């Protein structure tokens, strides 16, 4: 792994991503490092349940199956593999990789990173893990590891670690590290950087987007691209969208460095190539984020199908009947949502139907189980005409709650376990800096008065949204300087709340990123207790951005 450019690819954006991506990335073109991101807040809960059943588990088993068919390829091509698939048990996955390597006859050196596990400090948590940086990964690679397995590290650490090892960066190389963080953030969600989940997907073939890679230089600048001949596309818009995904303000803090997103500059560098430059870095904060997962209670759901005429009356009838039947056994939380999906004079039964969704939650499993399911089933012959449900009601299931805490970085023993078994404790950064909010500035001149027309916001603006615990972020960007002049002044917090009424009573914070012609909104508490709690129709907030783009606003006609 030598040379002036380090080519780092991604083959997984989540636990369950495209299985053959590892092989495709290894065979599709030149590569130095292949990364895989398997962890998310919900994944840690899933792995926690696995570990409860069998203490030898707690890692992403899919990765091991992918490696079985691709480890030989990686070795032949000299590609290092770095992944957080170790989840809650990186040592066990590292042992499993060694066993696999011996079985298939591939002589690779395996190392792992540990120290993120903090469950003992947080009683009652199913899992508690600090988000580590890339220094442990770098130590493993410098010691000759071919495969590095980690537990909970930041997603960008999968890129900063290999880059620091390759270029010899230290903790004072803040700008270079920040550039790698930005590249890592673009890669972390796989095909979201190559046309997947992209607002302006029409006109492009995104049926099977290729996975992204970054060509990283010694100064931290990079080019985001993909293997030749693969599907999808890479342009300034796809990279902008991913930069706004699950971020917030101008300071993007991490354990290696705080990257200033307001300094990022993007430019098209040819077909399917976007150059990232200008990224400035600051010392990391003195604390590490800790993700906590615990069992929050029990949940059940029933979806009633309402067909044809009198939809509102049918919904009112079954709701009254269920509420009466529950009586004193009523769960602590009962939520009803009527989705009017029916069409008048529908030409199929489904097109003539609406859906009434009942969601119940309680700490007592009995109150959401038979008490609810039985009450729903017993109405089958004595409720609204056409009564049926989308699926038989179940017994209910436990749901998880995610919380974020922070802990002094010095209290976490970040450890690299090298291929020869030696353990190296990674020192905490000498220089730190508390994260301060950047005062928004640099707004363009307001758009002049002129003819306007009501039209969907999405005709001139893209958006991407996602979850961070119980909060959601909605990033919105303009495709031209003129559109940015209008958007920056039009889409205020007040306007945002008016367009998305669900946010009207919530705290909404707006961040301005002029270099990206973008606004990033953080909506606090809209997702309740996080994705695992499934408290909302769209529990991860993935479609909030598309909802916003569909809303009508008065747009200057010249922009349309």
**310 contact partners, CB below 8 Å, separation of at least 6:** none
pLDDT in tens, 326-383: 988 899 999 999 999 999 999 999 999 999 999 999 999 999 999 999 999 999 999 9
Going by their DSSP bridges, the two strands 258-260 and 280-282 should be labelled as antiparallel
**In whole angstroms, what is the distance from residue 368 CA to residue 364 CA?**
7
pLDDT band of 528, cuts 50, 70, 90:
confident
pLDDT in tens, 244-287: 999 989 999 999 999 999 999 999 999 999 999 999 999 999 99
pLDDT in tens, 75-122: 999 999 999 999 999 999 999 999 999 999 999 999 999 999 999 999
Q: What is the pLDDT of residue 2?
A: 60
**Paired residues of 406 in beta bridges:** 289
pLDDT in tens, 30-83: 999 999 999 988 899 889 889 989 999 999 999 999 999 999 999 999 999 999
Q: What is the pLDDT of residue 539?
A: 86
**Paired residues of 401 in beta bridges:** 294
Q: What is the pLDDT of residue 312?
A: 97
% the chain with pLDDT above 70 = 99
**In whole angstroms, what is the distance from residue 60 CA to residue 358 CA?**
33
- Summarize the confidence of residues 201-205 as an average pLDDT: 93
What region does 308 belong to: left with phi over 0, alpha with psi -120 to 50, or beta?
Answer: left
Model confidence at 534: pLDDT above 90: no
% the chain with pLDDT above 90 = 89
CB of 191 closer than 8 Å to CB of 212: yes
Q: Whose CA is closest to 320, among 277, 296, 356, 287?
A: 356
Q: What is the pLDDT of residue 45?
A: 87
- Summarize the confidence of residues 402-412 as an average pLDDT: 95
- Summarize the confidence of residues 462-469 as an average pLDDT: 93
pLDDT band of 193, cuts 50, 70, 90:
very high
DSSP letter (8 states) at residue 538? S
pLDDT band of 237, cuts 50, 70, 90:
very high
Domain chopping of the chain, boundaries: 5-290+404-425, 292-401, 452-559
CB of 112 closer than 8 Å to CB of 134: no
Backbone angles phi, psi at 279, to 5 degrees: -70, 125
pLDDT band of 469, cuts 50, 70, 90:
confident
- Summarize the confidence of residues 211-238 as an average pLDDT: 98
CB of 340 closer than 8 Å to CB of 354: yes
**In whole angstroms, what is the distance from residue 161 CA to residue 180 CA?**
9
**In whole angstroms, what is the distance from residue 441 CA to residue 480 CA?**
19
Model confidence at 385: pLDDT above 80: yes
DSSP letter (8 states) at residue 557? G
- Summarize the confidence of residues 439-465 as an average pLDDT: 92
Q: What is the mean pLDDT of the chain?
A: 95
Going by their DSSP bridges, the two strands 397-408 and 287-307 should be labelled as antiparallel
pLDDT in tens, 1-16: 567 999 999 999 999 9
Q: Whose CA is closest to 293, among 538, 46, 540?
A: 46
Q: What is the pLDDT of residue 327?
A: 87
Rg (CA), the chain: 25
Q: CATH topology for 292-401?
A: Alpha-Beta Plaits (3.30.70)
CB of 255 closer than 8 Å to CB of 284: yes
Model confidence at 536: pLDDT above 80: no
């Amino acid at each position: 792994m030598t040379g002036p450019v380090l080519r780092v690819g991604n083959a997984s954006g989540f636990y369950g991503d495209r299985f053959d991506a590892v092989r495709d990335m290894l065979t599709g073109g030149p590569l130095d490092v292949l990364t895989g991101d398997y962890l998310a807040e919900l994944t840690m809960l899933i792995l926690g349940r696995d570990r409860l059943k069998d203490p030898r588990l707690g890692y992403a088993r899919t990765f091991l199956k992918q490696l079985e068919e691709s480890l030989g390829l990686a070795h032949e091509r000299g590609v290092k593999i770095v992944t957080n698939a170790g989840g809650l048990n990186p040592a066990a996955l590292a042992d499993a990789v060694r066993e696999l390597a011996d079985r298939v006859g591939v002589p690779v050196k395996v190392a792992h990173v540990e120290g993120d596990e903090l469950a003992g400090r947080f009683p009652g948590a199913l899992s508690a893990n600090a988000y580590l940086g890339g220094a442990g990964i770098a130590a493993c690679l410098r010691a000759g590891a071919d495969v590095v397995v980690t537990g909970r590290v930041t997603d960008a650490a999968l890129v900063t670690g290999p880059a620091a090892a390759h270029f010899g960066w230290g903790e004072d190389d803040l700008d270079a590290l920040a550039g790698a963080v930005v590249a890592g953030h673009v890669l972390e969600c796989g095909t979201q950087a190559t046309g997947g989940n992209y607002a302006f997907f029409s006109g492009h073939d995104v049926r099977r987007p290729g996975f992204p890679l970054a060509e990283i230089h010694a100064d931290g600048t990079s080019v985001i691209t993909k293997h030749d001949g693969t599907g999808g596309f890479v342009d300034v818009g796809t990279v902008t969208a991913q930069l706004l995904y699950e971020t917030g303000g101008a300071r993007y803090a991490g354990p290696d460095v705080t990257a200033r997103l307001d300094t990022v500059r993007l430019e098209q560098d040819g077909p399917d190539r976007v150059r990232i430059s200008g990224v400035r870095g600051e010392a990391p904060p003195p604390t590490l984020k800790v993700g906590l997962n615990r069992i929050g209670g029990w949940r059940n759901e029933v979806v009633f199908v309402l067909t044809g005429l009198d939809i509102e009356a049918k919904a009112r009838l079954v709701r009254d009947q269920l509420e009466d039947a529950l009586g004193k056994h009523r769960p602590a939380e009962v939520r009803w949502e009527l989705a009017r999906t029916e069409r008048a004079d529908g030409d199929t039964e489904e097109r003539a139907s609406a859906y009434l969704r009942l969601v119940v939650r309680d700490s007592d499993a009995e109150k959401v189980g038979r008490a609810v399911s039985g009450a729903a089933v017993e109405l089958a012959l004595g409720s609204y005409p056409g009564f049926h449900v989308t699926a038989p009601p179940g017994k209910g299931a436990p749901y998880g709650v995610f919380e974020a805490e922070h802990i002094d970085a010095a209290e976490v023993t970040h450890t690299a376990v090298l291929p020869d078994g030696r353990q190296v404790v990674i020192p905490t950064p000498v220089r730190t800096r508390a994260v301060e909010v950047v005062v928004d500035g640099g707004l363009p001149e307001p758009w002049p008065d002129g003819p306007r027309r009501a039209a969907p916001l999405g005709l001139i603006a893209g958006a991407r949204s996602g979850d961070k615990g119980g909060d959601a972020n909605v990033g919105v960007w303009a495709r031209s300087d003129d559109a940015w002049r209008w958007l920056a002044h039009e889409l205020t917090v007040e306007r945002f709340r008016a367009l998305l009424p669900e946010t009207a009573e919530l705290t909404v914070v707006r961040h301005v990123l002029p270099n990206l012609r973008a606004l990033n909104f953080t909506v606090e508490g809209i997702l309740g207790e996080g994705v695992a709690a499934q408290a909302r129709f769209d529990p991860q907030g993935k479609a909030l951005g598309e909802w916003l783009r569909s809303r009508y606003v008065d747009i200057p006609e010249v922009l349309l």
